[in-house]
Structure 1
Amino acid sequence: MGFVLKDMKREHVLAALAYGFFLAVTSVTLWGGYLRFLPGPENPDFLVLEYFARSAALPVSLAVSGVVAFRHPKARRWRSPVLSWALFLAGALLAALRHSGLVLPEWSLVAAGACFGWGSGLMFGALQEVVAAQKVFTAGIVVFAAAGISALLFFAVEALPTSVAPWASLFALAPAAVLLARAAWKCAPKVHPLFDTVPEQRRDRCREAARELWRPLLCVAFSAFIVGIVRVESLSGGGSIDQTNESNMIGLFAASIALLATWRLLYERVTLMRLYQILFPLTATAFLLLPLLDGTFHQMVRSLVFLVFSVTSSLMVVSCARTARNQSLAPVFVYGFFAGMVYASSLVGSVVGLLVGAGRGVGLAELSVVALVAVYVLSVAMVMPHKGRAARSQAGAGEGRSVASAGSAGDVVSAGCAVVAERYGLSRREAEVLGLLARGRDVPYVAEELVISKSTVRTHVKSIFAKTGVHSRQELIDLVESIEA
């Protein structure tokens, strides 16, 4: 882990701190920890409404942010961290007024939850831009380090007196997160095309992004679905919000340590999709065990649920950042779509959990059927697309070897790659790797696209360099662009 952290530069540290401080804030605000500081018993119906207003505002905010970023990728004021903080303060003001004993309408609690949810969505989008500006390997370090920082900050705030903790989060951690996010954005690299240009064929790039992310989306969304069931137990189980948040942060801290310790090895030898495949059975197992156990064992399974979700949601940030870079799409658009679907799944899980708690015909048998169907669907989804994907890649490479075909299609890059492959005697697989490298794809993407290991990709890259006489990817791209088909 030390070898990974020592590579961090100033901008990486700022990004990790900004993300970590904000995640710590959400543990007390977005996930409802502030409710325990309100005086007297609250109306259970309005507590449920507040929870769903907060849980629904987050995915809606992410989706709206994504749509606006797609249409206006260079406009940033509307998703400024300052605006996010203003929404947090509005929610905090409503909560503070209720805490003071001032008589307010019951809907004020619902409005506070909506402010926290919407503000969190805007801030997540702003931070995703900072993460996507980094290289994929560095983005992973930033996100995983942020998870550990947030857990430590959470337990530090929890150690404060009960009357101080929520306000320390809102008036100390939140502004610190805003200031750090602004500083991290100023230091973030601005050389990637996604910060300078608007792709002309954005819809085609969106389809490519969807092909990259739909299987990870299924996996993370199912984890979020289970988390939604667990969280709604905080309301139906007599207000165990403290225990739920602690389980969440313990899982987040454990995920941070595990990912930082193994990230270099995972990045070099395992594709992100393979990680989702490994983690999904743990999610399904926890789902099946959750209704069967109680007491200490139930708490252990809850911690496992949050651990798996913490890992998959951290990987989700890295996956979205990589896809945004590969497709030259606005990071807020990619993350807004992906994360919006994930947190909407969490909302659906909460609805199911509420029905289970109310005894409305949904029980262990029904949940077991859902889990088994999900396992079957995910298993098929994880395996089947690989072959089709490889076939499309081979077909595309076969067509790319014909300069006339590529030229007639108007694809200058494909035409240039075909000429380079023929002129320098590249093999079929080397031609496929060349085609992806010329479009700015990184090694993990090439490995996953062609269904080969990263070390094999690097071997092909070295062979391509040797045959063409270049010494870097940029020289290779220049060589392709210099050829007139």
Structure 2
Amino acid sequence: MGADKASGRRDGRARFSATRLWEDLDEQWPSLKFLGFGAYYAWIFLCYNSDVLFGWAGSAVGSDAMFAMYLASTAALGVVLIAAGVFHNVATRIVESRSAVLSMAGVAAVTTLTAAWSSPSGSQDALFMVSCALTGVGTAFVALRLGSVYSTVGARQALMYTAGSFIFAGMLFFVCIGLPHPVGLLATAMLPLVATAFTMAATRGPVAPSEDIVPMCELPRGYFVRLAVSVVVFSVIAGVTKGFMALQQPLSTVTDQGVIIVFATACTAVLLFVLVGLLVREFDTSQLYYPIIILACLGNLAVPLFGGFGVIQGELASIAYNLFILMVWCLLANVANRTDLAYASVFGWGRGASAAGTTIGWFAGSSLAPLLLENPSNMVAFAMGMVFVLLVVSMVVLNERTIGQALKKTRNSQANQAACDPSSGERSDGGAGGFPREGAWTKSCNALAEQAGLSLRERDVLFLLAKGYTIEHIAGELGISFNTAKSHIRNVYAKAGVHSKQELQSLIEERKGALQAGAFR
């Protein structure tokens, strides 16, 4: 009996230590978890822009193996993600279980190897098709796990992290294609597990107060539906070009073309990272929208010039699609972070729309290829039709102005957080003499700051700490480094005579209660 109790105490300490380890890791390296997106996208790059999976079998495997895998895997991915969007409560419980997501990532890793091993049999082999479909099922939960991580940041921070992840994905791509066959294939198969491992350090921060959440009904009418429709249309058009090209080029040339696509995507990500991180503090993600649409249109407009869908068109379409996913991922993060929609619904429907669109596009492109190749004029007309659809969607369904309005609404909500009394909803824009009108909560914070002798920056940190925000959020909100924010927090605790965020919040609540009772006048 005593041994059982001792064992239970040891197990409890072990569980506590493991949880504390993840929390400490997230606190020390808050950006680490976002690199999971890079490992996830590196897996996509390697599966569909290289011959790492199928090149080992030589001529025994044709380009139809990659085509079959894409259709089976991405169709399953889309179905699972859309189902997660519908049943978001169930999906959330699965995604927030580390063991469950690791298991699904393991399924994706094993079935990637199985698909590569059984690829000589091609689409006629049941094991190959089932393995391909299961890679989609496994990576769907990896994508949702990444969505839960990205839902903790706004659009601008998401853009920084996603750009950095695309750079990381490019590095992993070039490492894996440079490794000898067995090692490169094994490394590629392990990437879903690597992506999930990065997210293990993620700890869900405090839920934002209800006053800080923007209801979806306050955004431009049908904003999320418009976003999903635009994702589907863009993905279909990109998929058509990819599907057409996949059947027109031998497997041996896929890696050469993939190198150009991944390198160009990574270089663009570097430029965005530098631009947003160092040069433009108020970069609006909506400014990426039309340049991406123009790049996609150029790929189709080049069809008459080159007499058909050639390598350049495929590369431009792929690069534009990768950049479109970068932008959309940031917009989805903003919706999940700042509105009342559950992140499983946002990323389930958003990423699911992308998967469904590209699946339909690849199938349509491969089906239309014989008809288009018979008559070049049909190809030109089809390409111009896709340009027309892109322009209609970008100007009518979802345009830059609509995206900008949504971002402005959520950004204004974030900027006004410090101007609201979280308890009473009082705003700070109506005081006499042009000064803010303070609510009870704000007055108690200011009184504590005065008594403790806090500097102006420490006062800002006090307000954000009192609202329950993490060190990472405070650093991003104030535009300072993580270590600087941590130093300010340490000073606030010392000067206020508390040792934790909970003690600080309790102290402020006590002062607020006393103030409302008339003790602080």
Q: Taking structure 2 as the reference length, what is the TM-score of the superposition?
A: 0.64
How many residues align? The count is: 405
Partner of 2:350: 338
Contact 1:87 1:119 in 2 (8 A): yes
Provide, for residues 301-339 of structure 1, a one-character-per-residue CA deviation record: whole Å limited to 9, x for no partner: 433323322222112222111111111433232111112
Instruction: Confirm or deny that 1:379 pairs with 2:395.
Output: yes
| 2-structure distance, mates of 1:388, 1:158 | 42
> 1:52-91, aligned counterparts within 5 Å?
52-70=71-89, 73-75=92-94, 76-77=96-97, 80-91=101-112
| Residue 226 of structure 1, CA deviation | 3.4
Q: Counterpart amino acid of 1:251? A: A
Q: 1:9 offset after TM fit, Å?
A: 7.6
Q: Could you tell me which of 93, 113, 118 is aligned with 2:114? A: 93
CA distance in 1, matches of 2:130, 2:404: 49
Q: Specify whether residues 335 and 289 from structure 1 end up closer, same or farther in structure 2 by C-alpha distance, changes over 3 A only.
A: same
**1:99-130 Cα shifts (integer Å, max 9, x gaps):** 6x9x9961222112212222222111111212
Q: Which amino acid in 1 is paired with 2:162?
A: V
Check whether the contact 2:232–2:354 (CA below 8 A) recurs between aligned residues. Answer: yes
Query: Hey, what's the Cα distance between the residues in 2 that align with 1:425 and 1:287?
Result: 60
Q: Secondary structure at the match of 1:193?
A: coil
Mark the CA change 1:252 to 1:377 in structure 2 (over 3 Å): closer, same or farther. closer
Tell me the amino acid that sits aligned with residue 37 of structure 1.
W
2:382 paired with 1:366: yes
Q: In the TM superposition, what is the alpha-carbon distance from 1:417 to its structure 2 partner?
A: 5.0
**What corresponds to 2:188 in structure 1?**
169
C-alpha contact (below 8 Å) 1:250/1:303 kept by paired residues: no
Structure 1 residue 383: Cα displacement: 6.8
Q: Conserved in 1, the CA contact under 8 Å of 2:107 and 2:134? A: no
Does residue 1:18 correspond to 2:36, yes or no?
A: yes
1:79-228 correspondence to structure 2 within 5 Å? 80-97=101-118, 106-171=125-190, 173-182=191-200, 184-185=201-202, 188=203, 190-193=204-207, 205=216, 208=219, 211-217=222-228, 219-228=230-239
CA distance in 1, matches of 2:404, 2:285: 17
Matched to 1:193, the amino acid is V
For 2:47, the aligned partner's letter is T
Find the partner of 2:275 among 235, 253, 262.
262
Return the alpha-carbon distance in structure 2 between the equivalents of residues 60 and 206 of structure 1.
27
Unaligned runs of 5+ in 1: 1-7, 394-411, 428-439, 441-473
**Partner residue, 2:414:** none
Paired with 1:421 and 1:272, the residues of 2 have a C-alpha distance of 28
2:281 aligns to what SS in structure 1? helix
SS of the residue 2:179 aligns to? coil
- Amino acid aligned to 2:33: A
Cα pair 2:84 2:91 within 8 Å, conserved:
no
**Residue matched to 1:234:** 246
Q: Could you tell me which amino acid in structure 2 is paired with residue 64 of structure 1?
A: A
Distance change (3 Å), C-alpha of 1:72 and 1:57? closer
Give per-residue Cα distances to partners, 1:123-176, cap 9 Å, x unaligned: 1111121222245443322211111111111111111223442123214x4433
Matched with 1:248 is 261
SS in structure 1 at match of 2:181:
coil
Inter-partner Cα distance in structure 1 for 2:279 and 2:78: 30
- Corresponding residue SS for 1:283: helix
User: Whole-Å Cα distance in 1 between the matches of residues 175 and 403 of structure 2?
Assistant: 45
Greater mean alpha carbon deviation, residues 203-212 or residues 9-18: 203-212
Higher mean displacement: 224-233 or 112-121: 224-233
User: How many angstroms apart in 2 are the aligned matches of 1:266 and 1:277?
Assistant: 21
**Is 1:289 aligned to 2:302, yes or no?**
yes
Alignment partners' CA distance in 1, 2:249 and 2:338: 45
State the distance in 1 between where 2:354 and 2:403 align.
Answer: 23
Once the 2 structures are TM-superposed, how far is the Cα of residue 218 of structure 1 from its aligned partner? 5.1
Q: Aligned equivalents of 2:151 and 2:44: distance in 1?
A: 21
Question: Mapping of 1:430-469 within 5 angstroms?
Answer: none
Residues 257-280 of structure 1 deviation map (CA, whole Å, 9 limit, x = unaligned): 121111137863442223213322
Contact preservation (8 Å) 1:46, 1:107:
no
1:370-417 Cα distance to aligned partner (Å, 9 max, x none) = 321331342234278589999x99xxxxxxxxxxxxxxxxxx999945
Deviation at 1:291, TM superposition (A): 6.0
Tell me how far 1:425 sits from its aligned partner.
7.9
More displaced 10-residue stretch of structure 1: 207-216 or 114-123: 207-216
The answer (yes or no) to whether the contact 2:49–2:255 under 8 Å persists in 1 is no
Amino acid of the structure 1 residue aligned with 2:207: P
Tell me if structure 1 keeps the 8 A contact 2:112–2:135.
yes
State whether residues 223 and 305 of structure 1, in contact with CA within 8 Å, keep that contact through their aligned partners in structure 2. no
- Distance in 2 of aligned mates of 1:266 and 1:60: 40
The percentage of counterpart residues that share the same residue type is 17
Structure 1 distance, partners of 2:184, 2:333, is 33
Alpha-carbon offset, residue 217 of structure 1: 4.3
Mark the CA change 1:105 to 1:141 in structure 2 (over 3 Å): closer, same or farther.
same
Output the TM-score relative to the length of structure 1. Answer: 0.68
Residue 319 (structure 1) aligned with residue 316 (structure 2): no
Instruction: Give the aligned partner of residue 350 of structure 1.
Output: 362
Q: Deviations over 1:48-72 (max 9, x none)?
A: 5443212212222221222332456
Letter of the aligned partner of 1:357 in structure 2?
Answer: A
Give the 3 Å change call, closer, same or farther, for CA 249–387 of structure 1 in structure 2.
closer
Go from structure 1 to structure 2 and tell me whether the alpha carbon gap of 1:270 and 1:71 turns closer, same or farther (over 3 Å shift).
same
Contact 1:81–1:122 (8 Å) recurs in 2: no
Q: Aligned partners of 2:28 and 2:302: how far apart in 1?
A: 44
The one of 304, 318, 321 aligned to 1:309: 321
Whether contact under 8 Å (1:217, 1:338) holds in the other structure is: yes
One-letter identity of the residue aligned with 2:36? A
Larger radius of gyration, structure 1 or 2? 2
State the partner residue of 2:487: none
**Is the Cα–Cα contact under 8 Å of residues 72 and 132 in structure 2 kept in the other structure?**
yes
Alpha-carbon distance in structure 2 between the residues aligned to 1:316 and 1:365: 29
For the 8 Å contact 1:230–1:353, the answer to whether it is kept is yes
**Aligned-partner Cα distance in 2 for 1:414–1:9:** 28
After the TM superposition, which residues 24-35 of structure 1 pair with which residues of structure 2 at under 5 Å, given as runs? Answer: 24-29=42-47, 33=51, 34-35=53-54
- Equivalent residue letter for 2:37: Y
Specify whether residues 227 and 163 from structure 1 end up closer, same or farther in structure 2 by C-alpha distance, changes over 3 A only. farther
